[in-house]
Structure 1
Amino acid sequence: MNDKHRRPSMQDVANLVGTSKMTISRYLRAPELVAPATAARIAEVMTQLGYIPSRVPEMLANDRSRAIGVLLPSMSNQVFAAVAQGIEEVTLPSGYHVMYGHYGYDAEREAEQIEQLLSFHIDGLILAESLHTERALKMLAVAAIPVVEIMDLPATPIDQAVGLDHTAAAAAMVNAMLARGKRQIVYLAARLDHRTRMREIGYRQAMSAAGLSSHVIHTNAPSTFSLGGELLKQAQAQVPQLDGVFCTNDDIAAGALLAAQAQGLAVPAKISIAGFNHLDIGLALQPQLASVITPRHEIGRCAALRLIARINGETFTTPSQDLGFELFLGSSI
């Protein structure tokens, strides 16, 4: 015996409405083509039955799924929540369904997720990473669908890229700290992903240009407030004369600031502290945390616009869209 529950079919809807499957199909494609009274009755019966339309016929007829994939390194990070909001601001009114996956900053896991999303015949893909395994690149080449890489600006994107220059942003913030007289600035780096390393390059460039030595405290652990305090203590042990810390993100910076205050250090008089991404936590601190403002919502929105344009056959004169950054100097440097 097959106990599997059978979903209501289009024929079930037609039978209850008292019309043909063709009319139901027409309603699903273009409700305005069905007589208003019939359309209202169809909608009522669909709600009554809990009818779920199948997109398979449309996919087969048009070779389109009306779905796009989005791969993010984290589903809990506030940074990527804003990106997702920007994406859906575009996809929802455009009639596209978004299929999400996350890969935990792991390149092999990203390749697995790409394979899974491609198996659903998505029309396009947004990737929050610009470094990929050979396997991932091969699958994307075979799939031949539009791809937008987001957050940074790879020199040779797979197809399109939307983001900002993390190296330049980091250098700009460190230069702001230097302009305020700080000389022993340490970079606190957690979760050693590609963007963390690009920010380190910017930090080192700014310090070198000022004729100063660079000091970096590394860990591959995920960013937390408590980790920020631990990294500050390590920096103090290695560079006792430090007078500033530039942090790879605001979680680390907030933790460092709270730890410094717990030690009785005046911020910014004794130690300047700056972060990256300008999260809400930084505004709640006293003094308010200096940070690089990254246009995360706009990155998501522009990536979705560009992806849908590419799905529809449009081309762009340049493959990358640099949305820039701003500095929020707060009162912590």
Structure 2
Amino acid sequence: MKSKKMKSEGTVAPTLEDVAREAGLSPMTVSRALNNPKIVRPMTVARVMLAVEKTGYIPNMLAGGLASRRSKLIAVVVPQINNNMFVDTIQAISDTLAQRGYHMLLCVGGYDSDGEAALVATLLSRKPDGIVLTGIHHAPALKKRLINAALPVVEIWDLTPTPIDMLVGFSHEKVGRLSARYLLGKGYRRFGLLWTADQRALIRKQGVVDMLQSHVGCWFVEVKVGLPATMRLGRDGMQALLARAPELDAIICSSDTLAQGAILEAQSQGISVPQQLAVMGFGDLDFAACHLPSITTVAIDRWRLGQEAATMLADKIEGMTLSEPLRDLGFWLCERQSA
């Protein structure tokens, strides 16, 4: 009687036996209905699920007796959740995984490789079926841990011929080169670079710099801003660039968000975009096409990136053979009014 009182007061979590008692079934039948419902009659499964709902029982998905030994949990590590660049990709991963019967555990790793390594170590103790990592620049200890865990891993938003396991992304260096080549082709020669300091953005910037330095008569100045990129930082960065070099004729930004702020700051100073100053972004975020002026940028299929990553991961978890573990989704130029 004492144990029943404790349960009614909510001090003891309901057990499998409680569910069996509520359903009027044996614990073995309840276990089968929860862990392998395909071999149990639908009416019995429904009876068990009703008892689960009434008792508030939480199945232990990591129990050693599970037929599949799977947690049905996928850990997705992104540097930020307040960055619009990742929103579509995260949603696509979640939706695609849900269709395959998996659940997404979203984690914020920041831009510090040691912090990411510590987070992943904690995640591995939760026994996920797979992990999605953002980028390819990880601490050596993290790579070693994942390889030893023999866990399916997909890296996204970057490109390398030597991923940890699988990869879906694009070349940030080539994005930078395309941006600079486009503006050079338009006749611009005096550049301002407005950039955040994350690893992938810096690779894009190096692509820009390589192109500019190969053209005689070009020069550039740069301003670094903090993370995450915001419209306010875009305005502040543009103000700093114009104070250093008021004769600039083109600005390349590491994101559309910074480009939006840069345009607003230019307009507030009476500088016409693009008549007096061209501004270019990156990412083709939702507002870029409808901004005034609309923002010239480089687009990535962020939704497809998430779909591909989730599909590759689920396929490998389920034992399917992947024809290509490395997928370059590419990118394209969106020529609009700002440049």
TM-score (norm 2): 0.90
Structure 1 Cα separation of the partners of residues 99 and 120 of structure 2:
25
Gapped runs of 5+ residues in structure 1?
Answer: none
List 4+ stretches of structure 1 deviating above 6 A: 1-4
| Deviations 1:133-174 (CA, angstroms, capped at 9, x unpaired) | 122122122212121111010232111111111121222222
Q: Offset at 1:103?
A: 1.6
Aligned-residue RMSD, C-alpha: 2.2
Alignment match, 1:320? 326
Q: Offset at 1:207?
A: 1.8
- Is 2:122 aligned against 1:116? yes
Alignment match, 1:208? 213
Q: Secondary structure at the match of 1:282?
A: coil
Q: Secondary structure at the match of 1:131?
A: coil
Instruction: Specify which of 182, 187, 193 is matched with residue 198 of structure 2.
Output: 193
Q: 1:332 to 1:95 in 2, by over 3 A?
A: same
Q: Percent identity?
A: 34
- Number of aligned residues: 332
Q: Offset at 1:237?
A: 2.7
Alignment match, 2:286? 280
Structure 1, 193-202 or 34-43: larger mean CA deviation:
34-43
Q: Secondary structure at the match of 2:105?
A: strand
| Deviations 1:79-134 (CA, angstroms, capped at 9, x unpaired) | 22211111112211212222221122111110111111111122221110211112
Q: Secondary structure at the match of 2:29?
A: helix
Alignment match, 2:50? 44
Q: Offset at 1:317?
A: 5.1
Q: 1:216 to 1:118 in 2, by over 3 A?
A: farther
Structure 2 Cα separation of the partners of residues 81 and 101 of structure 1:
13
* Greater relative contact order, per chain length (Cα 8 Å cut-off, separation 6+): 1
| Deviations 1:20-70 (CA, angstroms, capped at 9, x unpaired) | 122222222344544444333333222222222221335765443222211
Alignment match, 2:156? 150
TM-score (norm 1): 0.92
Gapped runs of 5+ residues in structure 2?
Answer: none
Q: Secondary structure at the match of 1:246?
A: strand
Instruction: Show the 5 A alignment for 1:175-254.
Output: 175-190=181-196, 192-219=197-224, 221-222=226-227, 223-254=229-260
- Is 2:79 aligned against 1:73? yes
Structure 2 Cα separation of the partners of residues 213 and 277 of structure 1:
25
- Structure 1: which amino acid aligns with 2:175? A
Structure 1, 259-268 or 304-313: larger mean CA deviation:
304-313
Q: 1:111 to 1:39 in 2, by over 3 A?
A: closer
Contact residue 217 and residue 235 of structure 1 kept, 8 A? yes
